[in-house]
Chains A and B, each alone.
Chain A
Amino acid sequence: MAALRVLVGVKRVIDFAVKVRVAPGGAAVQTQGVKHSLNPFCEIALEEAVRLREAGAATEVVVATLGTKASQETLRTALAMGADRAVLAELAEGAAAGPREVAVALAALARRLQPQLVLLGKQAIDDDCNQTGQILAAILDWPQGTFASRVSLEPGAVQVQREVDGGLETLRLRLPAVLTADLRLNEPRYATLPNIMKAKKKPLEVVPAADLGVPAGPPRLRLLQLQEPPPRAGGEKVESVESLLGKLRHAGRI
């Protein structure tokens, strides 16, 4: 079978179940000592790639991330879930990156590795940007299929389906293409103990982010301020439609 390499981009984020707190200063969230894990949508993207390889539609799954040294652990999890090898585009400690920087790094890796398919999660659960896949496709000038809920490979093309208000939308994209994964694409597997041990032998390459063209300095998107949403005020129950209209008018809402 002709080689079909899949590149999966992943991100290390604060675990979804953690109660996030704003750090003193108000321009970041507390990350010290806080549980981190592989972004759930990235897990779904990775799971899809591994399934494609297991079905014989793909020949190799390469997982990559832009992050500090701590992201190596995230890559190890990805290897334990079934990726064949991993690449860390390493940032210096304390350096930050946004969707644009990630897309630049992944584009450079895509040019090096020549994948037919790049799979990403639709968004990261920390910043909810939903931009990286789209920016990456633009940089590479590749077709994009975002919010994928179903993916099937054909010779030289990929059919991707997403859920829209009216039902399902299906596109056929010429390869190589960029896809981003949505929630119902699949249910990711756990990294079983035997696979964790097998992953030990899988290669993990570290490349300085600058070597991939990631510009030094602050990211293009800068976070100015974070604040907790105002506490929910109590509601009010009314007895009749007239009463409701009266209250809305009184509050200047209508």
Chain B
Amino acid sequence: MAAAVLGRAAGGARRWRALAVPRRGGAGLAVDDTVNGLSAEQRQLRQTMTKFCQEHLAPKAQQIDQENEFKGMRDFWKKLGELGVLGVTAPAEYGGSALGYLDHVLVMEEISRASASVGLSYGAHSNLCINQLVRNGNEAQKHKYLPKLISGEHIGALAMSEPNAGSDVVSMKLKADKKGDFFVLNGNKFWITNGPDADVLIVYAKTDMNAVPASQGITAFIVERGMPGFRTAQKLDKLGMRGSNTCELIFEDCKVPAENVLGTLSKGVYVLMSGLDLERLVLSGGPLGLMQAVLDHAIPYLHVREAFGQKIGHFQLMQGKMADMYTRLMACRQYVYNVAKACDQGHFNAKDCAGVILYSAECATQVALDGIQCLGGNGYINDYPMGRFLRDAKLYEIGAGTSEVRRLVIGRAFNATFK
């Protein structure tokens, strides 16, 4: 086969490698985008991203996880910028692709399929930071910050959580005091994705500690790395999503120019909450990509591994596992893709944005567990990626609002219709 010959070619042979062995993964399974209802351009987009990620990211995924570091992150970000996928939802005048949330979900899914931790960093950069700037920034702020974030020259982040304020984010204590043309920030943020690497961060702080209700005292700010009084502390050592650098942010009399208020003073909670809905939608691509990755590895394995004289994929209990994993993934896909399409039509609701990530995150954990089980003992050793898939999947039940909070959002939405 040409593929084997090409594997020995020198120079310029950027992707000819040995014939795929299940253990190292290969092309992955074909995805039925007709059932998924994607347009021709969206299928193209998935194809480009699958190819790009399988070549430039998947081979590094294991190392990124083991070392808890993505050494080539800056270069990779620039390549993503060239592909036009960092500013998927940003207007063309800033270098964006001016497309929709479904396109964004697809990119999120394919990056996560290769490496969920890099996918998480991508989501934080492209949605939490870039999309919030697009939706809430004034012209000056957009022109100043978006171009380099969209080209990949700068890395973005968003900070709302604190050591003592996760689910109860409105009780945050980071203070912002107005002093002339500046706001002076004092306090900490915690669990901040891309914190160690970010050049631009959207930070939520309390400009009014006495507001009633407390939510009316929050303001969003744009902070730059290098602003005096702002520093990052230790990189966190996490169970999963290793390589998606997370850290604590420390503000000690950090001076932020007043022109860096994002949105309106003391109305930051609206920036925060509406951003959360779209964050949940786009990040749902993460669990989808993870579930696809589990299938990409488990299904071929089941048709290579033998026991009792046959391929184990032919035993009924394994057929059952394949069915369960596949149907969970497909059901989640249709929910996520349809809510994304609705948002693209201007139809947003918090209930479904919470619903898609609630459901797909919990399915992803289950599918990842099934994936480990399919590989048996091999699923338990770190030569195979199944353990990493589980550790990465679990994050999605916690970040972007825990499953508990998501359930509250949906329940309360129903309560509100029966007031």
Contacts and interface: CB of A to CB of B under 8 A. Distances in A.
Q: Say which size band chain B's interface belongs to.
A: 35 or more
A200 B41 contact: yes
A125 B2 contact: yes
Nearest to A81: B48
B36 interface: no
A62 B341 CA distance: 34
B310 interface: no
B1 interface: yes
Given A17-B27, A191-B47, 19 more contacts: A16-B6, A18-B20, A19-B20, A19-B300, A35-B30, A37-B51, A73-B40, A76-B44, A80-B48, A184-B12, A190-B52, A191-B44, A192-B82, A192-B83, A193-B84, A193-B88, A193-B99, A195-B84, A196-B48
Contacts of A242: none
Interface string A1-39: 000000000000001111110000000000001111100
A193 B45 contact: yes
Nearest to A20: B1
A191 B48 contact: yes
A123 B52 CA distance: 23
Interface string B18-31: 01100000111110
A35 B1 contact: no
Interface of A: 15-20, 33-37, 40, 73, 76-77, 80, 123, 125, 128, 183-184, 186-187, 190-197, 199-200
Nearest to A38: B47
Contact of B97 (A73, A123, A191, A197): A197
17 contacts: A16-B27, A18-B26, A40-B6, A73-B43, A76-B44, A77-B47, A80-B44, A125-B1, A128-B1, A183-B12, A184-B12, A190-B51, A190-B83, A191-B48, A192-B48, A193-B48, A196-B45
Contacts, number: 91
Contacts of A184: 9, 11-12
Contacts of A200: 40-41
B167 to A, nearest CB: 35
Given A187-B12, A193-B88, A18 B2 contact: no
A143 B91 CA distance: 49
